Amino acid sequence: MNETSQRGKLKVFLGYAAGSGKTYQMLEEGQELLRRGVDVVIGYFEPHGRKDTIAMTEGIPLIPRRTLEYRGTAFQEMDTAAILARRPEVCLVDEFPHTNVPGCERNKRWEDVEAILDAGIDVYTTMNVQHLESLNDQIWQITGVRVRETIPDWVLAQAAEVVMVDVTPRALLNRMERGVVYAPDKAKKALENFFQESHLAALRELALRQTAHEVDSRQTLNDGMDVNPGGATMDGQDPDSQERLLIYVTSEPSSAELIRRGKRVADYVHAECFAVSVCPSAELKNMSATQREAIERHLNFARNLHIETRLLPGEDPAEALVSFARLHEVTQIFVGRPRYSAWSPLLGRNFVHRVVRLARNMQVTIVAERHRGASAARS
């Protein structure tokens, strides 16, 4: 996708929980645009029954949603075609990570937004940090929730502006409590609050760091003189980058976490990023169908995150991996941590060890799966 001067600008209001005021702030800025005579419309708005938020929409033209039927139920979605036909200067779109109901042209709302931007319309949108793809494992580790609706990091990276909508966890909890009836089981509630508050604090920290990172990438992009290259280009293309990172993908379920972690590191240090998998003699037949599917799924996942992927033939995975790395001047190889069993003392012969020995002048990072809860107690 080539950047053209006609493409619309994306502005993201980033938060870390429902009720933090993202939508309110977006609408507030919409009102400011309206006052200045900018042609601004609401493309999608989720009122959630909040009175002051609804009041903020007053005067901003609303593009009606369209209704689709799926399995006998009516769903309301953003009417992207109507927005494109209306051609406003700025379009406000709530809930960026939303997944559309089957039957829409596009699966994801962020894909709809891409189309709107492509038409030269600026978009303001809202999202929580937990929907960012590369943070998926950490979010799970903190909250125990596996977020399904994710946005690839490059989508956020191409935003012209990311603004943190900050509120403290305590204020958030107070807000919630003011709205609910006093719970009879006080102790239970206190306990719940404790977990809620610590989780919220951790999510908030992630949102603050992510915004700092977004600000950082944009500085270096805006300033052509800077020796530190900007990392926010869409494919991690960076003429000054010294680093190249290679992720080794297998059929193991942990590959998804490995890919996310590798890509995140690559983005932060402005490295180019590849992902490869190795299969014996270009012969996928010997593999079980489920294994084959898993590898294809993982490589496909990597491509969606804008990682260049290859499926390499080779009898010896370690050898094939390192040869590819050498050929492409890779500086760092990412592999998953082996699954150790108590009765395998021949550690020196394992895959990781061979990669380390063969890689000679390259760095090898062994990525460990993150655990929930008592990770600190393990050893």
Min dist CB 38 to other proteins, Å, is: 8
Comparison of 108 and 213: residue with beta carbon closer to other proteins: 213
How far out from the chain centre does Cα 251 lie? 22
Rg (CA), the chain: 23
Comparison of 73 and 341: residue with beta carbon closer to other proteins: 341
Instruction: Report how far residue 214's alpha carbon sits from residue 76's, in angstroms, rounded to the nearest whole number.
Output: 32
C-beta separation of 250 from 336 below 8 A: yes
Min dist CB 245 to other proteins, Å, is: 11
Comparison of 204 and 306: residue with beta carbon closer to other proteins: 204
DSSP code at position 139: H
| Closest by CA position to 158, among listed 339, 323, 3 | 3
Instruction: Report how far residue 14's alpha carbon sits from residue 1's, in angstroms, rounded to the nearest whole number.
Output: 25
Instruction: Report how far residue 68's alpha carbon sits from residue 164's, in angstroms, rounded to the nearest whole number.
Output: 33
Instruction: Report how far residue 173's alpha carbon sits from residue 159's, in angstroms, rounded to the nearest whole number.
Output: 30
Min dist CB 169 to other proteins, Å, is: 8
Task: Please name the residues in contact with 347: beta carbons below 8 A apart, sequence gap of 6 or more.
Answer: 353
Min dist CB 379 to other proteins, Å, is: 6
Comparison of 36 and 186: residue with beta carbon closer to other proteins: 36
Its sign, for the CA torsion 344, 347, 349, 352, is positive
Comparison of 314 and 338: residue with beta carbon closer to other proteins: 338
Min dist CB 185 to other proteins, Å, is: 19
Comparison of 327 and 374: residue with beta carbon closer to other proteins: 374
Comparison of 285 and 371: residue with beta carbon closer to other proteins: 371
| Closest by CA position to 161, among listed 376, 2, 11 | 11
| Closest by CA position to 134, among listed 18, 265, 240, 46 | 265
Comparison of 128 and 211: residue with beta carbon closer to other proteins: 211
Min dist CB 76 to other proteins, Å, is: 32
Min dist CB 82 to other proteins, Å, is: 25
Min dist CB 99 to other proteins, Å, is: 27
- The DSSP line for 240-288 is T---EEEEE--SSTTHHHHHHHHHHHHHHTT-EEEEEEEEGGG-GGGS-
